[in-house]
A and B are shown apart, each in its own frame.
Chain A
Amino acid sequence: MSTNNNMNLTLKVWRQKNAETRGAFVTYKAEGISPDMSFLEMLDVVNESLIHKQDEPIHFDHDCREGICGMCSLYINGHPHGPKNAITTCQLHMRTFHDGETIVIEPWRAAAFPVIKDLAVDRSAFDRIQQAGGFVSVNTGGVPDANEIAIPKVIADEAFNSATCIGCGACVAACKNASAMLFVSAKVTQLGMLPQGQPERYSRVQAMVAQMDAEGFGSCTNTGACEAECPKEIKMTNISRMNNDYFSAKLFREEAMHEHAASGE
């Protein structure tokens, strides 16, 4: 099989033994790289050569390698998931870079995402936010026939757009305040738009925002870096929708909010 392995690159990679130890940049050569390799495959090549020398490989999170699991998370040349829009690191290919280029690779940097090792961070704060209220309280069984709930296509499509969030944390990494508003608002919006999510709409938003604050994420100042860097192109309108629900819930009694919503206004 013919492969064009002709790129030579310099990598400046953040190495950090664990959460307690200070980290630093270490320089590596990546040689004989094919433009058809994904960014992670390029790192695989570097790691293989490190292991051959009995050195510790560079640790990074990855799993599906097809852009959907949200596990990969590198901050490449100042951008979460690298320089291209609307893709994750595993879908970034080396043809995006030039032969001889120096590439700086860092972990997500946010107080709420402590470094575990090298380029991997702890994003369990996202899980805890979802656990606080990111669900519809229905048990298995005893639910109505799926087609008894008619949902206008435009609403279903818009809810779907919010639901495509992969929970990677790029929005937090991109934000100068390390705010998680885009992530939280995507889930709040998905369920808040659908009829199934209405009964808990206002309690959900309050619970999730409270957990977000408790985790130490920063505030939103509407700079929009999150939307610009999101690999799934989640829109900031989600944040507006969440703010709307959140402030409504805080200003009025919850029962009044449901009456308000039911009146169609």
Chain B
Amino acid sequence: MSLLDAKIPAGPLAEKWSKHKFNLKLVNPANKRKYDIIVVGTGLAGASAAASLAELGYNVKAFCFQDSPRRAHSIAAQGGINAAKNYQNDGDSVYRLFYDTIKGGDYRAREGNVYRLAEVSVNIIDQCVAQGVPFAREYGGLLDNRSFGGSQVSRTFYARGQTGQQLLLGAYSALNRQIHLGKVKMYTRSEMLDVVIADGHAKGIVTRNLINGNIDTHTGHAVLLCTGGYGNVFYLSTNAAGSNVTAAWRAHKRGAFFANPCYTQIHPTCIPVTGDHQSKLTLMSESLRNDGRVWAPKTVEIAEQLRKGTIKADQVKEDDRDYFLERKYPSFGNLVPRDVASRNAKEMVDDKRGVGASGFAVFLDFADAIHRLGKDAVAAKYGNLFDMYYQITDEDPYKQPMRIYPAVHYTMGGLWVDYNLSTNIPGLYALGECNFSDHGANRLGASALMQGLADGYFVIPYTLGDYLATIGPKPVDAKHPAFEKTKQDTINLINTLLSMKGTKTVNEYHRDLGHIMWEYCGMARTEEGLTKAKGLIKALREDFWKNAIVVGANEEVNASLEKAGRVADFLELGELMVDDALMRRESCGGHFRLESQTPEGEALRDDDNFAFVAAWEYKGDNQPEVLNKEILDFEFVHLTQRSYK
């Protein structure tokens, strides 16, 4: 085990980033055009980074597996983006956004990173508005805000329930402008399958063209992974069907540390599962908790009647309802952070007070809001979400409360990066959800969009230059043997996958893995359950390589092959997540270790033993990974047990 240096600049919190920017080396404008930068993924982090670096003069090669960069999964983010603008005059500040985020993350994030995030949040809104992003506005023509969980100010900027779409289209337009100018070369339907490490530095990638199967190598002076999170390891999540861990995982296998893999966000308000056929879970934005009230019936008897359908929710008397978040957390009420809301919904279900046919749901009720504001006002705020709920469930949420249940939504863990967003491999960077850096053990709502764009627009354009200036503009040697070797490794893996003609589909393995992960490595975890899960995943993985079916050939469009490679990586990641969860014998953020709770049954952190980042180091196939620790220093905030009461 070694101790990792995050390279957080010394000095007062508010001066760290400014001083650091001054101390970073610069690349002179005439030299920038001599550098090639590879950007993998075109979501908020990737598109904003690619566009901003191209504007500076670097040559950018951008890659996405979708048919267009506009379709990256950032597009699906609904609720909003936080920024410490204090436009509402309600007491917000950079320091408050910093503090809320550190606290919301249950004191498992770096102070320096989080402060920088809060600091640049204000620039993000300015940038997006300048691009023509149509944020919601007040009648006076100025920007509107709403509230999100874990904060008592209104600092969330939004564009109806489609904020991610509008922000991504803004970044996509900036990217398009650079493609038009010839500064970005865009590769669509291209999947990164490996990173090329030459003499200890990242110098390129290997991709598969998803149309004709060509395996290509690409050179770059630096490689930026902006490839999102790995929530699909749970099979059912709010992620897009194609979201996967492959780029990050293969980089991990080439030496990049993977940090806090067990930190998963389980979002409280999703549409419940209806059956085994289900391919994804749909989120209902956290913004709904501004006006919706969460409740479950007070008694098991009433819950049973609701489950059988003999009574409907609106027939349950006010006295028979338990608005459990308002009851337990009077100061934050329905706007407690996501982990707290999720855990409480699970408690209701464990208590046999869940509703819906399956019993795995609680209510999110808008009757009061409709009564107070009128149906039209509610529709203006949340109309598209209500329509989506209606489409999926065939129930009208204007008449009956929504049924909601927690689902996997976001992964706070990811590739370990230092303050410069560099992994431990020189030249290999990770941005956005792909890295682990800013959300600790729980991410606050409307902070993912903020982090993706902060990394891409305002952090990497500064920090990358320092590395590039150090290595110099000499062209990358495409003849270095590492390129051919890495390409051959990729081809070998593809050939192995294509030779698998067993009896069970890759999707079936994926679903089995998801069941194990959700059951034992989800919201509540125990030593016993995790130990069992480790054995189950290992057995499943061994079976996968013996009995999975992969059809078709490499030289064609082959979704079966694409999915097989992704599931193979999820099967390895799953085991690491379980190892990480086993090691972390404390309840923190979204993760409740049953062995670690207060007498009242609330999550109990263990700061003496676990105030560190767990960065795992790959040691070869079937070898245990090695734990490296980065100790988290808290100079400016005082660690307390979180309370939202």
Contacts and interface: CB of A to CB of B under 8 A. Distances in A.
Interface of A: 1-3, 5, 17-18, 34, 36-38, 40-41, 44-45, 48, 51-52, 54-57, 59, 61-71, 86-87, 91, 93, 95, 116-117, 120, 122-124, 126-127, 130-141, 143-147, 149-153, 156-157, 159-160, 163-164, 166-167, 190-191, 194, 196-197
6 contacts: A64-B75, A120-B67, A134-B173, A135-B174, A136-B131, A140-B52
Contacts of B391: 67, 87, 91, 93
B388 interface: yes
A152 B357 CA distance: 46
B549 A140 contact: no
Q: Determine the main DSSP class of B at the interface with A.
A: mixed
Contact of B73 (A63, A87, A116, A117): A63
A151 B177 contact: no
Nearest to A154: B139
B66 interface: yes
A51 B279 contact: no
Contact of A69 (B52, B73, B123, B136): B73
A48 B507 contact: yes
B134 A143 contact: no
A197 B131 CA distance: 8
Q: Determine the main DSSP class of A at the interface with B.
A: loop
A140 B551 CA distance: 45
A26 B311 CA distance: 46
Interface stretch (B29-37, B164-172, B608-616): B164-172
A127 B184 CA distance: 14
B388 A91 contact: yes
Interface in B143-201: 143, 159-160, 162, 164-166, 169, 172-174, 176-177, 179-180, 186, 188
B92 to A, nearest CB: 14
A36 B578 CA distance: 33
A230 B126 CA distance: 31
Interface in B2-57: 48, 51-52, 55
B161 to A, nearest CB: 9
B173 A140 contact: no
Contacts of B598: none
Contact of B67 (A64, A122, A138): A122
Contacts of B132: 136, 159, 190-191, 194, 196-197
B68 A55 contact: no
A145 B123 CA distance: 8
B392 A91 contact: yes
B583 interface: no
Contacts of A38: 279, 392
Given A66-B76, A124-B67, A144 B169 contact: no
A131 B505 contact: no
Nearest to B49: A140
Given A146-B126, A156-B137, A190-B132, A65 B552 contact: no
A68 B137 contact: no
A54 B551 contact: yes
B587 to A, nearest CB: 29
Contacts, number: 235
Given A1-B273, A134-B173, A64 B551 contact: no
A25 B387 CA distance: 34
A163 to B, nearest CB: 5
Contact of B240 (A34, A69, A133): A69
Given A143-B127, A147-B143, A151-B137, 8 more contacts: A17-B556, A36-B275, A41-B278, A63-B66, A64-B241, A68-B76, A69-B73, A95-B394
B559 interface: yes
B377 interface: no
Contacts of B457: 140-141
Contacts of A71: 66-67, 71
B507 to A, nearest CB: 6
B141 A190 contact: no
A206 to B, nearest CB: 14
Contacts of A130: 70, 172-173, 176
A156 B157 CA distance: 14
Q: Which of A66, A67, A116, A131 has the most CB of B within 10 A?
A: A66
A37 to B, nearest CB: 5
A51 B51 contact: no
Given A71-B67, A196-B129, A150 B142 contact: yes
Contacts of B387: 86
Interface string B261-295: 00000000000011111111011000000000000
Nearest to B211: A116
B644 interface: no
Given A95-B394, A156-B134, A191-B132, A140 B51 contact: yes
A18 B126 CA distance: 45
A116 B76 contact: no
Contact of B160 (A64, A126, A131, A160): A160
A24 to B, nearest CB: 17
Contact of A3 (B55, B165, B275, B280): B275
B98 to A, nearest CB: 20
A150 B174 CA distance: 22
Nearest to A143: B130
Nearest to A55: B551
Contacts of B394: 93, 95
Given A3-B277, A190-B134, A140 B67 contact: no
B601 interface: no
A149 B85 CA distance: 15
Contact of A59 (B66, B172, B559): B559
Contacts of B75: 64, 68-70
Interface in B308-355: none
B134 A140 contact: no
B87 interface: yes
Given A127-B68, A144-B130, A65 B240 contact: yes
Contact of B276 (A3, A95, A143, A197): A3
Q: Which of A68, A86, A131, A143 has the most CB of B within 10 A?
A: A68
Contacts of A167: 68, 70
Contacts of A196: 129-132
Given A91-B391, A93-B392, A140-B458, A163 B166 contact: yes
Contact of A153 (B125, B127, B137, B501): B137
Contact of B507 (A44, A138, A163): A44
